[in-house]
Amino acid sequence: MDSQDAIQLLEADHREAEALFDHYEKVKEEASAQEKMKIAKKVCSALLIHMEIEEKIFYPQVRKKIDDDDLMNESMVEHARAKDLIKQIGQLKPNDPMFDAKIKVLGEQITRHVEEEESEMFPKVKKAKLDLSLIGAELRKGQNRMREEHGLTPVAA
């Protein structure tokens, strides 16, 4: 795989999360509680890792270069809201009547957040003087370190 720049990497993560949410919606009526738990855990881990590398690596560098603190602050609030919902999901059993509802709302919130990143933040990032390949490599490194911590397969650089 060619090494991705920062935006390509983050957008690939976004597509992966969307695919997992779609998959959950498609199978939730028929799937066993165990199967649903597996998908839920996968999407929640992927999102936690994604938000972590954005907050620790991407956002701070972007904030310095684009003159839009409001946008960056709103993004942080949206992450906090998603993390709170992920925490609530982690405390539920998959046969809990609220499980599907929380996954669905998390998916909707993430879709909206992703749209804002891709339509407002990323275009500003592309215009700013940032070394997106270097940041992409930093993101990949952080992502792989955290994937291991979450027991997921690392992705090749």
Binding site for Fe ion (CB under 5 A): 10, 54, 117
Least spacing, CB of residue 20 vs Fe ion, in Å = 14
Question: Nearest approach, Cβ of 42 to Fe ion (angstroms)?
Answer: 17
Q: How many CB atoms lie within 10 A of CB 154?
A: 12
Identify whether the C-beta of residue 47 lies closer than 8 Å to the C-beta of residue 109: no
Contact 104, 89 (CB under 8 A): no
Q: For residues 94 and 139, which CB has a smaller minimum distance to Fe ion in the complex?
A: 139
DSSP state of 151: T
User: 43 vs 99, which CB is nearer to Fe ion?
Assistant: 43
Find the shortest distance in angstroms from Cβ 54 to Fe ion: 5
**Distance, CA of 38 to CA of 122 (rounded, Å):** 31
Q: Name the residue nearer to Fe ion (CB basis): 36 or 121.
A: 121
